[in-house]
């Protein structure tokens, strides 16, 4: 056994959840694709290898045979684990709502009022921006666009934390699948009423588009076919913007000169958003299955193996982002990052997510231009598939 494989064999899921970046760095430095037994995945960590796995779909397929944690937890394939015409048709029904130019037409009317209502609830003093501000904006904005605007933020937040337990359960813990299944059943029951309404009275919501866009006149997609993808949106679409916003805000608060620059020139907020999503990618991987024996980099991988294109590692690759890749820096040279994935499974909601984060930051900084990290609470990050601060305690002035 090589030194690298011995190192990877000792890695636990707890190690990944606590801090995956040293593991990814070791792999990048080795220039190898490493097999991680604790999650039964090969990890592609260098930018070029990650891009290859994410884009070469005939070799690395998103179809995972129905036994990925995501498919098991969500009771079937979703847009994330489909290929071919079924993926294209479902993706096109979602893209109608989330094309960047379309998002620009409605984002202000949807997200700005939600952000203003949430910032109005904050008062000077000690607050947790994650649970009291960023997550509520994220889930309520997604709910309004998805077609479940009647649900409160506590319900939607409970849903995505519960769904997450199953979606990232690579160790096949029955307890984690059971926790996720309870939430999935609750979602199924709630969505039945939503489908009843939209099937009779279509509107401009995402679920309505998924039902009808691209279908022959008088026909619609089945509820069962859509539910796994709706759960994906309730998971990733609900948490990614809020967690990306929290990471970005922490990056700014940890670098007062950069925060001062953003306060002086608000046009830098979108730059900060992109840097925050690069620095701590809310979504960590795109997982694929090899369709034949392959050589990736210099590593031989057999047919039917699961390979994770580690987006969060590609975003820390010093060959692409320089020696300061591990640092938050809004002044770094502008270039594309991997925070929203690669290829035909590139995040359909990327424009919505980025603009939502920007609006949340704009409203917060306009109301509370003076704030600082609360020294009584260390900021701790957690997760490898979904990574974010566990809380963001600040003092608002």
Element (H, E) at 3: helix 3-9
- The alpha carbon of residue 93 and the mean position of all alpha carbons in its chain are separated, in whole angstroms, by 20
- List of domains in the chain: 3-396 (1.10.630.10)
Q: Based on DSSP, count helices (H) and strands (E) in the chain, helices before strands.
A: 19, 12
Decide: 175 and 235 in contact? Cβ < 8 Å.
no
- 3 state DSSP class of 262: helix
| CA end-to-end span of the chain | 56
Q: What angle do CA 261, 263, 268 make, to 5 degrees?
A: 60
For residue 364, the surrounding DSSP H or E stretch is helix 350-367
Sign of the C-alpha dihedral, residues 140, 142, 144, 146?
A: negative
Residue 1's pLDDT is 67
Cα dihedral 243, 203, 87, 105 in deg (nearest 10): -60
Per-residue pLDDT of the chain (397 residues; tens, 9 = 90+): 689 999 999 999 999 999 999 999 999 999 999 999 999 999 999 999 999 999 999 999 999 988 899 999 999 999 999 999 999 999 999 998 999 999 999 999 999 999 999 999 999 999 999 999 999 999 999 999 999 999 999 999 999 999 999 999 999 999 999 999 999 999 999 999 999 999 999 999 999 999 999 999 999 999 999 999 999 999 999 989 999 999 999 999 999 999 999 999 999 999 999 999 999 999 999 999 999 999 999 999 999 999 999 999 999 999 999 999 999 999 999 999 999 999 999 999 999 999 999 999 999 999 999 999 999 999 999 999 999 999 999 999 9
27, 298 contact by CB (below 8 A): no
Q: What is the C-alpha to C-alpha distance for residues 139 and 155, in angstroms, rounded to an integer?
A: 9
Interhelix angle for 238-253 vs 350-367, to 10°?
Answer: 40
Token pair, residue 92, equals 């096109």
Q: Which residues contact 207 (CB under 8 A, 6 or more apart)?
A: 146, 147, 148, 194, 195, 198, 226, 230
pLDDT at 66: 83
User: How confident is the model at residue 65, as a pLDDT?
Assistant: 87
Q: How far apart are CA 290 and CA 65, in angstroms?
A: 11
Determine how β-strand 306-310 pairs with β-strand 388-389.
unpaired
The three-state secondary structure class of 386 is strand
- Write the CA distances from 138 to 123, 146, 158, 160, 187, integer angstroms: 20, 12, 13, 11, 18
Helix or strand (DSSP H, E) at 295: strand 294-296
CA distance 263 to 369: 7
Contact between 91 and 343 under an 8 Å Cβ cutoff? The reply is: no
What is residue 96's predicted lDDT score, i.e. its pLDDT?
Answer: 83
């Amino acid at each position: 056994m090589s030194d690298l494989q011995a190192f990877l064999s000792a890695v636990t899921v707890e190690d990944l959840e606590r801090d995956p970046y040293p593991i990814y760095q070791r792999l990048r430095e080795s220039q190898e694709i490493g097999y991680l037994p604790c999650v039964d995945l090969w990890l592609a960590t260098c930018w070029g290898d990650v891009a290859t796995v994410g884009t070469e779909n005939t070799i690395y397929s998103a179809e995972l045979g129905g036994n990925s944690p995501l498919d098991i937890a969500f009771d079937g394939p979703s847009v994330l684990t489909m290929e071919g015409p079924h993926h294209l048709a479902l993706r096109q029904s979602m893209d109608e709502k989330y094309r960047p130019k379309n998002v620009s037409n409605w984002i202000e009317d949807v997200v700005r009022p939600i952000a203003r209502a949430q910032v109005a609830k904050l008062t000077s003093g000690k607050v947790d921006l994650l649970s009291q501000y960023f997550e509520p904006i994220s889930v309520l904005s997604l709910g309004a666009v998805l077609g479940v605007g009647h649900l409160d933020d506590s319900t939607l937040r409970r849903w995505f934390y519960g769904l997450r337990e199953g979606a990232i359960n690579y160790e096949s813990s029955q307890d984690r699948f059971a926790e996720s299944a309870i939430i999935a059943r609750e979602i199924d029951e709630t969505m039945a009423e939503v489908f009843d309404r939209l099937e009779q009275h279509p509107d401009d919501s995402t679920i309505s588009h998924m039902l009808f866009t691209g279908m022959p006149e008088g026909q619609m997609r089945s509820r069962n076919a859509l539910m796994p993808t709706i759960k994906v949106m309730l998971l990733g679409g609900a948490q990614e913007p809020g967690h990306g916003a929290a990471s970005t805000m922490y990056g700014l608060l940890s670098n007062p000169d950069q925060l001062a620059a953003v306060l002086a020139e608000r046009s830098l907020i979108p730059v900060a958003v992109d840097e925050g999503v690069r620095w701590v990618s809310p979504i960590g991987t795109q997982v694929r299955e090899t369709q034949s024996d392959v050589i990736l980099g210099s590593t031989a991988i057999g047919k039917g193996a699961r390979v994770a294109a580690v987006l969060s590692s590609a975003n820390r690759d010093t060959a692409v982002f320089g020696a300061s890749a591990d640092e938050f820096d809004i002044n770094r040279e502008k270039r594309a990052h991997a925070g929203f994935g690669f290829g035909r499974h590139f995040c359909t909601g990327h424009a919505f997510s980025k603009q939502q984060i920007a609006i949340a930051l704009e409203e917060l900084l306009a109301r509370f231009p003076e704030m600082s990290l609360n020294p009584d609470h260390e900021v701790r990050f957690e997760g490898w598939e979904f990574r974010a601060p566990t809380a963001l305690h600040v003092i608002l002035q």
